[in-house]
């Protein structure tokens, strides 16, 4: 009798699952939306851990040339937007309907949940307002000397690597460099990773870069099924790296005099965090150190790896395109005029160099760090006259697909900076959304561009770069498949030759 009841219960469960699945997979068809056929277990996430999400987004864009396409995150319906016009409405003009990102972490992971990237409204608006003073024009100018010093150390590091190894591992050298830069400008922590490749903060960033199977699964759930990430107690960052980052943060805090020291002027992120702590204490609001550390963690994560990846792709492309190097060099020489060294130039003037900026724009276009920009509808929202998505629907603006559309960017697989120099270029019709768009775009965008311009300009003025024999062209370089960021999946080695 027991076995009969058990068998009946299992059969009923299977029938319920089947009926539920049939309803789930009809979701987009019932609404007349083109859709990618889902897998019964993973939905459309079957690419995960097999190839990069940016590649998947491009393939989705090319396979479904429609303004939007329906997908499933496991069994949860979501919408991918392939239209520039609809994407801009979601991110900018109608951003009030899409205040939050879908990605989040659980209560067991305060570092992952309460940072500026993942935190929800209304907390996000308050934090953004308090942290924005770190990135004013005046504050960015005050960072120029430090960025210049670290960039000069990078030039020495390249020379050292060439002397010892006759080549340079781009991503290794650039992550050492960006670790020092982000540590210095955000926490006032002056490291030596650029020259030595070592240091406490470099240990943190190295662990941030390691995406083994378990961490890959953690990030998949955080981005695509946050409730399960919370259920399993998964974290956004490795525990050991957070322990080291905590010690770095506490050391920097002590050097500033602790939370009791009055902050008269917000010079960097650490000052802003100290001031947040003081304001909360004055208002009898609880603000544990973990929530403050969360912002330091996401600034380090967002500031070192993304910039290092963009630099790696850029310099590797230039190694195969000597004519682009020559054009950049002549533009920089003209800027220098009678000055013998680039350090005599105000880094702010680099923003006026049209060809340098075209090269950076083209790198950001072709190698978009995150293939999508995620939002979640907080109210029912009418996409167009045919579709209204209900509140709670995850929406992904397909940045990788849009930025590789041949109708927007002819020959999209070609590295061609001149496309941004044409006199009739309509920049609003040629979006580069690597830093996002709208109110929730990357708060560190302007600083990242300063860092990129400085590093690229220094390298072009100081060196010529060439590919090594038998190295793959940029189009054949493997892309990191375990991480959600579009980063090189193999070491990129090139030759640097000092200019004479």
Stretch 352-359: mean pLDDT: 94
pLDDT at 75 over 60: yes
Per-residue pLDDT band for 410 (boundaries 50, 70, 90) equals very high
Q: What is the pLDDT of residues 189-217, one digit of tens each?
A: 888 999 999 999 899 888 888 877 777 77
Q: Which two tokens stand for residue 312?
A: 């790696």
- Greatest pairwise CA separation for the chain in angstroms: 96
Per-residue pLDDT band for 280 (boundaries 50, 70, 90) equals confident
The structure's pTM equals 0.92
**Which CB contacts under 8 angstroms, 24+ apart, belong to 131-137?**
131/269, 131/272, 131/295, 131/443, 132/443, 133/266, 133/272, 134/266, 134/268, 134/269, 134/271, 134/272, 135/443, 135/444, 135/446, 135/447
**How high is the pLDDT of residue 163?**
95
Stretch 28-43: mean pLDDT: 92
- Determine what percent of the chain is predicted with pLDDT higher than 90: 52
Token pair 């890959």 is found at: 216
- Phi and psi of 317, rounded to 5°? -60, -45
Residue 242 to residue 70: CA distance in whole angstroms: 37
- Strand arrangement, sheet containing 373-376: 68-73, 76-81, 394-397, 373-376
Burial class (CB within 10 angstroms; exposed 0-12, middle 13-18, buried 19+) of 101: buried
Q: Which two tokens stand for residue 179?
A: 């670790």
| Residue burial 295-332, b: 16+ Cβ < 10 Å; e: rest | bbbbbbbbbbbbbbbbbbbbbbbbbbbeebbebbbebb
Per-residue pLDDT band for 345 (boundaries 50, 70, 90) equals low
**How high is the pLDDT of residue 340?**
57
Q: Where are the alpha helices (DSSP H) in 166-211?
A: 170-187, 193-196, 200-209
Which one is predicted more confidently, 91 or 339?
A: 91
Token pair 């045919």 is found at: 386
**How high is the pLDDT of residue 207?**
86
pLDDT at 271 over 70: yes
Q: What is the pLDDT of residues 447-479, one digit of tens each?
A: 999 999 999 999 999 999 999 998 999 999 999
Per-residue pLDDT band for 134 (boundaries 50, 70, 90) equals confident
Q: Where are the alpha helices (DSSP H) in 320-395?
A: 322-336, 354-366
Residue 414 to residue 398: CA distance in whole angstroms: 20
Map out the domains of the chain as residue ranges.
Answer: 1-31, 34-102+136-215+299-498
pLDDT at 2 over 80: no
**How high is the pLDDT of residue 459?**
95
- Determine what percent of the chain is predicted with pLDDT higher than 70: 97
Stretch 279-306: mean pLDDT: 86
Residue 391 to residue 376: CA distance in whole angstroms: 8
Is 454 annotated as contributing to ligand binding? no
Per-residue pLDDT band for 260 (boundaries 50, 70, 90) equals confident
| Of 16-20, 75-79, 166-170, 491-495, minimum mean pLDDT range | 16-20
**How high is the pLDDT of residue 423?**
54
Is the separation of the CB atoms in 401 and 412 below 8 Å? no
34-102+136-215+299-498 CATH choice from 2.60.120.200, 3.40.50.450, 1.10.630.10, 1.20.120.1200: 1.10.630.10
Burial class (CB within 10 angstroms; exposed 0-12, middle 13-18, buried 19+) of 338: exposed
Per-residue pLDDT band for 182 (boundaries 50, 70, 90) equals very high
């Amino acid at each position: 009798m027991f076995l009969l009841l058990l068998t009946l219960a299992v059969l009923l469960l299977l029938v319920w699952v089947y009926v539920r699945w049939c309803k789930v997979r009809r979701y987009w068809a019932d609404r007349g939306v083109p859709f990618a056929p889902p897998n019964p277990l993973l939905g459309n996430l079957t690419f995960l851990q097999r190839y990069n999400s940016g590649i998947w987004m491009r393939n989705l864009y090319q396979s479904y040339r429609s303004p939007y396409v329906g997908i499933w995150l496991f069994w949860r319906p979501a919408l991918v937007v392939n239209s520039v016009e609809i994407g801009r409405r979601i991110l900018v003009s109608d951003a009030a309907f899409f205040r939050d990102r879908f990605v989040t972490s659980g209560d067991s992971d305060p570092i992952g949940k309460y940072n500026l990237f993942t935190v929800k409204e209304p907390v996000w608006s308050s934090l953004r307002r308090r942290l924005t003073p770190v990135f004013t024009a005046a504050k960015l100018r005050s960072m120029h000397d430090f960025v210049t010093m670290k960039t000069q150390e990078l030039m020495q590091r390249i020379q050292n690597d060439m002397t010892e190894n006759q080549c340079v591992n781009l991503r290794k050298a650039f992550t050492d460099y960006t670790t020092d830069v982000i540590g210095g400008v955000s926490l006032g922590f002056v490291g030596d990773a650029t020259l030595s490749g070592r240091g406490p903060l470099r240990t943190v960033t190295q662990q941030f870069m390691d995406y083994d199977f378990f961490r890959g699964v953690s990030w998949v759930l955080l981005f695509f099924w946050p409730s399960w990430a919370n259920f399993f107690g998964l974290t956004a960052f490795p525990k050991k790296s957070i322990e080291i980052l905590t010690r770095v943060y506490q050391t920097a805090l002590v050097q500033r005099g602790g939370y009791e020291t009055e902050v008269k002027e917000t010079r960097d992120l650490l000052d802003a965090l100290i001031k947040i702590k003081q304001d909360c204490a004055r208002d009898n609001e609880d603000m544990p150190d973990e929530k403050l550390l969360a912002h330091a963690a996401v600034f380090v994560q967002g500031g070192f790896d993304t910039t290092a990846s963009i630099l790696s792709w850029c310099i590797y492309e230039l190694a195969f395109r000597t004519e682009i190097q020559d054009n950049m060099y002549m533009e920089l020489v003209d800027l220098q005029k009678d000055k013998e060294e680039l350090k005599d130039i105000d880094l702010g003037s680099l923003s006026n160099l049209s060809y340098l900026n075209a090269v950076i724009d083209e790198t950001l276009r072709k190698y978009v760090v995150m293939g999508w920009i995620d939002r979640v509808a907080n109210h029912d929202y009418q996409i167009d006259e045919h579709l209204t998505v209900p509140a709670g629907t995850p929406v992904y603006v397909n940045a990788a697909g849009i930025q590789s559309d041949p109708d927007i960017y002819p020959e999209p697989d070609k590295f061609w900076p001149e496309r941004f120099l044409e006199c009739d270029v309509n920049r609003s019709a040629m979006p580069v959304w690597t830093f996002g768009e709208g109110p929730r775009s990357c708060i560190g965008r302007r600083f990242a561009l300063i860092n990129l311009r400085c590093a690229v300009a220094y390298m072009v003025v100081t060196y010529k770069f060439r590919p090594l024999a038998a190295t793959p062209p940029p189009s054949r370089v493997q892309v990191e498949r375990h991480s959600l960021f579009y980063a090189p999946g193999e070491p990129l080695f090139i030759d640097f030759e000092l200019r004479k």
